[in-house]
Structure 1
Amino acid sequence: MVATVSGLTNAAQASAYYEADDYYSEDGTAPSVWLGKGAAELGLSGDVDQEAFTRLLHGQIAKDQRLGTQRDGEWSHRPGWDLTFSAPKSVSIMAEVAGDRRLIEAHEAAVQRTLALAEQHLAATRIREDGEVRREVTQNLVIASFRHGTSRALDPQLHSHNVILNMTQDQDGHWRSLEPRALYQLQKQLGALYRQELAHEVTELGYEITKGKDSSFEIAGLSPESLEAFSQRAQAIEAQLAERGKSRAQASAAEKQTIALDTRQAKEAVPQAELVQAWREAADSAGLTEEKRRQLVAEAQGRLTAHADQESSNVFGRELLADQAVAQGAAMLGERNSVFATTALHEAAGRFALGAVSQAEIAEAITRAETTGELERRTYLDYRGAAFEGMTTATNIANEMTLLRLEEDGRHKITPILSPLDAGKTVAQAEQRSALKGHAWNEEQRAATAQILTSTNQTIGLQGYAGTTKTSTVLATVAKSAELQGYRVTALAPTASAAQVLGDALDSRADTLARHLLA
């Protein structure tokens, strides 16, 4: 997987693991760097210091401040989370086998910019006040980033382990434990943002790319055979999935992660020179000869020189492309959500402009769209009610204003479907039928059904969470009552699957709204 999030449970083991041998550096330790505004606040910069890293894993901010709780005479503190970004196989091959070390810098730049977005939009803590717990956005993280170059199968695999330590500074300057839910919820989104930023960096180096699904890509010019030759780890996982009768596309993320852990090999220390020699022999056998490798690098450098000559005249074109990508992304998100997370807009826009513009340019385009009024800031609430920075579109606002006017103009304009007495009888009968099937109504369902049946308003809104049986109780009862009174009932839903559920509940045909409008 391109991005994974895993919780760390043992501070001592984590400290030793991330400083493990790696062939990149001369002193035998993995190249590392402190990242995040929280790290800067603690005076941490440059290479990750082992002593400071170990201390922070244990939650020790200062001599007189330690995060965590005392449990059964022992101190309890979750060390942090490992957010790992892995480069596409072709990038690893061209960096490690072909020797284009510029791609390592491209990977690091993509990692750091993705983490900066995560810090800006996802960093938060939980604060208990007056018996209640609230989520506070902090916008600062303490991150120890370690770069590695091989997989456990000793294939070239450029990846970075980014240890997000369990600490963040609240708005009053106090250090608190991090609230990590967003990291898990948006794991796939963060992976896409990393790929998009890396695709931009790779094209900026002169390489051409072939685009895949979900912002995936590979450097153009490498054959499937050459990629397969350095995918032993992926082959082992796919073999395990095949034994279960599944492919990567069919397996869930949890299944793939479980198999990835089951098939992990023990780490093996091999000198860099031996690894590179073995890789180049394998590449030669797969048709990626030294001549071909040199040619790919030379062609990229040639394109880079040509692009540099055109760069000054292309600024306006890039701005226009970023503006178009943001507009497309916002329109797509706005079709399903009145308000969407700003990170979702970054990811959607980056998907449309993969490799052509950076996330920094997308951020500038979002600001321009705010200035012109095409986008407006809102608070986005996830399915658990956590608040994030969000956006809505001018189109969504206009649509909502139209709906509100229609609702207001339709108040007290119709004769109720049923009288209060008949509505009460209908609800009681529907409730009895449900009871025979083993389903009980609650007071909210009774009240909602009665209110709709006796309303004099043309437009009535009913809001309910998924799984609260509002369709099979409230809506089904209202629809059948209306039909008995001579009304024609039209059932519409936003998606085909929702229309199917609605039609089954009402025992009638249901269409999507788009199909209905088209017809």
Structure 2
Amino acid sequence: MINATTLKRNASGTQGGCASIDYLLAQELAREKARQVVGYYNLPAPSDGAESRFYGGLAKHLGLAEQRATKELMLPLTDGFDPKTKRALCHNAGDRGQMRVRKDKTGKPLQKDGKDVTYLAGGHRIGFDLTISAPLDISVAFALASDPAEQEAIHTAHRNAVQRAMEAFEAMSETRRNKAGKDVIGVDGLIWSSHHHYAARADEATGEMGPNLHTHNLLYNLSLGADGEEASLSAEEIFRYRKAMDEVYKTELYQGMKALGYGVDRIRELDDDGQETGRVYARIAGLGEEVTDRYGNRRKELLAYAAKHNVSNQQATLATRKDKDEPPYHELIDLWQQTLKGFDVSTESLKQAKGNAQEMEQKSPAELLERLHEMDAIFCDHNLLEVLGQEYAGSVTVPELYDLVQGFKQENNLVHVNPMRLHDDDKGDSLARRHTQERYCAPWMLQIEQEVVGFAIDRAKETHHHVPQADVDRVVEDYEKAKGFQLSKEQRNALDHITQGSGGVVNLSGLAGTGKTTISECFKAAFETQGFELLGVCVSNAAAEKLEAESGMSSVSMAQMLYDLDGGKMQFRKTDIIVLDEAGMVDARSTHRLFSHAAKSGAKVILQGDVEQLQPIGAGSGFQLTKGAVGDTKLTEIRRQGKQEDRETALAFYATDENGQIIDLKKASRSRAQTLNKGNEIKARLLDNIRETATDKEARERLLHEYFQDRAPMSEKLVIAHTRADVAALNAGIRAGLKERGELDKEEVVIEARDKGRKFNLALSKGDQIVFTAKNKDMGVINGTQAVVDNIKPSRKGGHDITVSIRSETKGDGRRLTFNSHQMKAFSHSYSGTVHKSQGQGKREVYHLANLGMLDAHSALVAFTRLTKGSYRMYATSDDVERLHERLGLERLKETVLDAGVVGQKIGAALHPMQVQSPQHQSVQRPPMQRSGIQGKLDMIVKEHREQQQAQAQMSEGERRARGLLEVFEALRRTPRPQAEPAVPVQTPLQRQGITR
């Protein structure tokens, strides 16, 4: 495992890298102390090769290569100086920043406990700690080795693997040039010092330290550029390639262990439900889990803490972490050898096990492409290195792994996609690798996107779902009379477009809180005057329940609807209107499947949502594709927030043109400067809403304190965070507060719960609020059903019988049910939730625990716009607040292949010149393709590709790619249209889920 941590100067800015260096050299200091022990040279000790040393091309350039890393040499490097000549190696060498007072948006100093809140601004960054840890089985084998020579051999295998990974990091690193840093070039060398440690943190109960062979690589913030000049390091590629380099490390490590005579197994990881996770890992053959579990003391401590306090493992890690004071090497070895005496295992016996690394069958290229496209429409070399490194774990060498990556690209007819786009204002004379390096997708991924666009354009002129003007007018008149208000001009235009001015696919873009429900009610009534039936479809069951309650249309989750459609349990009819709510969260493949079924029957599809809010989890964005094809009609008048100031803040998240009109945000449509300006604008509006703390723990504590101070009922308060760990911690904190107030029974039971293949312990008391996380047709619950625990009692059948009352904001409370905890485990606490699950909700009071690594413009927009009439509060550390503007303006729209473009063609060059007018009268172009089964076309393309391999080998690279893409388009053009299938009766969504009333 490789962890990358940015090393910052301490708050005073005066100690340089002292604290970091003292920690890294702790084992060296312990070794020096041990030298004073009588008979030291008869005690186990690491070899001289395990001393802390300097490595890298810049180390060689400075005359430090493989020299022992001492504090005297390391300190100047943390400040940006050559430790021998004291020469500055970067423009801000020696700059330790300045202490500044944090101010609110009025310029008034922020205070805490009567003192100004300060922060360290600017200064030269120390560097990065790239900690490379051996898998537990390697650490245990190291501890098992009673022969010092065998210990040294295993340690050498680890060090060699670390060096291989670090050299790979060095090879792809970059540095910037010129004042604005727009020119990016490669490096001829970096400098890092490697520091080898051996033990895990002490067990909280026993104080015992298990083996954890790991190396801290202090990568100094310095580089030797390809132009021969020294400068700071540009770290983007370090973080982008971290997971890929971990596979390089493990590949080299297990080859080293095999060279020592150890067998290696390849294991497909299973989740707690016994389902494959997709991850493959290597493990020393013959090493039983009883041995590795003995050294899982740290993990046992975490699991025990997590169970007791009902928090995630990550949160338990933070809560139980103590300062690590690693004993001398010989003491650790003695401790481990004593502990292992009770096990019938040794390094000699391990070498008798053969292992299955070479025998286990690999997944097919088609299956690996599915993994690569699980979350993104486009993948890069580092994604291939990660996926193939896992798939071939323990069975190939590093050169063979690189060959596998190249072979995969050459043998699977991949589409070559343009590099990551960069705004013109940010382009220098030379670009970063990510802006010059080709990317890839499977042919079928491009085809899916083309077909989504084709569906929308092919159906643009359909009129059989149009509603006569007189009927629309009558619906509006009745609605306005019943509600006591008039539709705005914007709302009326949207209604007219959906009911009269659109074809078989129509897009309704509504900014957060613009009242899409009002339009839904109106177009539903209008369509029903013509005998049409409306069916709602949402990303989640909870959202479907809410849509059904608000609009009156039968609604179901996207997963359930596609399952029933694909399985033939239901079919659309020509008289159906399919309403896809929160369409911006739906990936391209799901959109394609829905469109395919709708096109066969002639059903109309209305996509309503906002691409600026949360992005799809899966690959691509169907909403972005259809908007690009046939445009959209927009709702921009925000209504959810009660205060004008809050509505203006919500609007500030959106992109506007020179006239202040809302426009669609596109990839790389903002420069770096524009992103920061947008972030500063939003941050200035939010400053009064931000609760700033010194640590993450204090941020959580302050949120909980203010949550309980607020007298608003719990039903009007929304607590949201970005990670499951933070959600678990907040759930535990709210439960503790409720117990103190007597609102929960103090007695509790701990049961085993499950969520998406993850097993965890859940503390449960009478009065607890829970949410079911899976459908159970016998109980009549779905994923998202809320409930309150009324009673818990032991069951004669084992486990506990739990009685709950169903709670629904849309259908009211009341229904009671009882279930056994052994039979139904899919539920968790519901006091807090993720930002992702909050989309579509609106509450009076919003408490948002920020996480800078997860925060961007989309999640921040969703978090803020959950607010209705009360207050929004963001809780963040001072460090996070300092950089908040970088994230609030950051767009991370899901990329589509069509938007990125294919290598060798201008954007839109592969599209047909036929034009269609969108609602905004923007001309859009149609791809020369029609719809059919993907697999048949892909087989045809592959067959033609093989027949022409010899001819293509004689072409230039550019000609080959262009010809391959044209073949795809031509194949699509020749494919006949599917014929509509006979209509069958449509079941209600609840009937489709097997739930009856």
**Secondary structure, aligned partner of 1:65:** coil
Q: Describe the shift of the 1:366–1:127 C-alpha distance in structure 2 as closer, same or farther (beyond 3 A).
A: farther
Structure-1-length-normalised TM-score = 0.71
1:166 aligned to which of 221, 238, 249: 221
TM-score w.r.t. the length of structure 2 is 0.40
C-alpha spacing 1:7/1:335, structure 2 compared with 1 (3 Å): closer
Q: Output one character per residue of 1:284-332: Cα deviation in whole Å (capped at 9) or x when no partner.
A: 12x145xx432223x26xx59x99xxxxxx9xx99x95xx565432222
Q: Does 1:459 align with 2:505?
A: yes
Which residue matches 1:409? 458
1:337 aligns with 2:337: no
Pick closer, same or farther for the CA change 1:77–1:276 going to 2, 3 Å. Answer: same
- Would you tell me which structure has more helix in proportion to its own residues? 1
- Aligned partner of 1:277 among 323, 334, 344: 334
Q: Is 1:227 equivalent to 2:271 in the alignment? A: no
Cα distance in structure 2, aligned partners of 1:355 and 1:337: 27
Change in Cα spacing, 1:486 to 1:191, as seen in structure 2 (3 Å) is: farther
Q: 1:6 and 2:10 equivalent?
A: no
Q: Distance in 2 between matches of 1:498 and 1:162?
A: 44
What residue number does 2:98 align with?
A: 71
Q: Does 1:89 align with 2:89?
A: no
- The aligned counterpart of 2:367 is 328
Q: What's the offset of the Cα at 1:26?
A: 5.3
Partner in structure 1 of residue 65 of structure 2: 45
Pick one of 521, 527, 532 that aligns with 1:487: 532
Unpaired runs of 5+ residues, structure 2, are: 10-16, 32-44, 101-119, 203-208, 271-278, 427-431, 569-997
What amino acid is aligned across from residue 414 of structure 1 in structure 2? T
Aligned partners of 1:326 and 1:349 also within 8 Å: no
8 A contact 1:3–1:83 mirrored in 2: yes
1:220 partner letter: A
**Offset of residue 135 of structure 1:** 10
Alpha-carbon distance change, 216 to 166 in structure 1, aligned in 2, over 3 angstroms: same
Partner of 2:349: 295
Which segment is superposed worse, 455-464 or 13-22? 455-464
Paired amino acid for 2:98: R
> Does structure 2 retain, via aligned residues, the 8 Å contact 1:151–1:157?
yes
In the alignment, structure 1 residue 505 sits paired with structure 2 residue 547: yes
Taking the aligned partners of 2:235 and 2:296, their CA distance within structure 1 comes to: 35
Partners of 1:366 and 1:375 within 8 A in 2: no
Q: What displacement does 1:151 show? A: 2.9
Using the TM superposition, give the Cα deviation of residue 33 of structure 1 relative to its aligned residue in structure 2, in angstroms: 4.4
Structure 2 residue 305 is matched with structure 1 residue 266: no
Q: Distance in 1 between matches of 2:387 and 2:329?
A: 42
Deviation at 1:79, TM superposition (A): 1.0
Counterpart of 1:104 in structure 2 is: 155
Cα deviation for residue 394 of structure 1 reads: 1.6
Task: Return closer, same or farther for 1:220/1:407 CA change in 2, 3 Å cut-off.
Answer: same
Q: How many residues align?
A: 477
Structure 2 counterpart of 1:337, one-letter code: D
What is the CA–CA distance in structure 2 between the aligned matches of 1:339 and 1:392, rounded to whole Å? Answer: 5
Cα distance, 1:34 vs structure 2: 1.8
Q: Which residue of 2 aligns with 1:237?
A: 302
Distance in 2, matches of 1:430 and 1:193, equals 64
| Aligned with residue 414 of structure 2, among 374, 377, 384 | 374
CA offsets 1:354-392 (integer angstroms, 9 cap, x no match): 32235543432332333343252444589xx99676431
- 1:116-135 → structure 2 map (5 Å cutoff): 129=180
Secondary structure at the counterpart of residue 140 of structure 2:
helix
Q: Which residue of 1 aligns with 2:646?
A: none
Q: Deviations over 1:74-126 (max 9, x none)?
A: 97222122221221222112124323544334333443444455556686769
- Taking the aligned partners of 1:369 and 1:502, their CA distance within structure 2 comes to 41
Q: Is 1:54 aligned to residue 75 of structure 2?
A: yes
> Which deviates the most, 424-433 or 48-57?
424-433
1:180 Cα deviation after fit:
5.4
CA distance in 2, matches of 1:38, 1:330: 38
Matched AA of 2:373: G
**Partners of 2:482 and 2:127 in 1: how far apart?**
52
Identity between Structure 1 and Structure 2 (%): 19
Distance in 1, Cα, partners of 2:220 & 2:68: 13
Structure 1 residues 119 and 181: CA distance shift in structure 2, 3 A: closer
Query: Is the Cα contact below 8 Å between 1:415 and 1:456 reproduced in 2?
Result: no
Q: Which residue of 2 aligns with 1:351?
A: 390
Aligned residues of 1:380 and 1:391 also touching (Cα < 8 A): no
Cα distance change, pair 122–29 in 1 and its aligned pair in 2 (3 A): closer
The whole-number CA distance in structure 2 between the counterparts of 1:461 and 1:105 is: 60
Match runs of 1:175-194 below 5 Å = 175-176=231-232, 178-179=234-235, 183=239, 194=249
Contact 1:34-1:48 at 8 Å conserved across structures: no
The secondary structure found in structure 2 opposite 1:354 is: coil
**1-side partners of 2:403 and 2:449: how far apart?**
27
Letter aligned with residue 296 of structure 1 = L
Root-mean-square deviation over aligned CA pairs: 5.1
Secondary structure of the structure 1 residue equivalent to 2:305: helix
Check conservation: 1:123, 1:138, Cα contact below 8 A: yes
Task: Show the counterpart of 1:146.
Answer: 195
More deviation, 346-355/24-33? 24-33
Structure label with greater radius of gyration = 2
Output the amino acid matched with 1:34: Y
Instruction: Output the CA distance in 1 between the equivalents of 2:472 and 2:96.
Output: 56
Aligned equivalents of 1:103, 1:485: Cα separation in 2: 77
Q: Given the superposition, is the C-alpha separation of residues 162 and 278 from structure 1 closer, same or farther in structure 2, using an over 3 Å criterion?
A: same
The Cα shift of 1:481 comes to 5.3
Query: Structure 1 27/121 Cα, relative in aligned 2: closer, same or farther at 3 Å?
Result: closer
- Gaps (5+ residues) in structure 1? 308-313
CA distance in 2, matches of 1:429, 1:170: 72
Please tell me whether the aligned partners of residues 125 and 168 of structure 1 are also in contact (alpha carbons under 8 angstroms): no
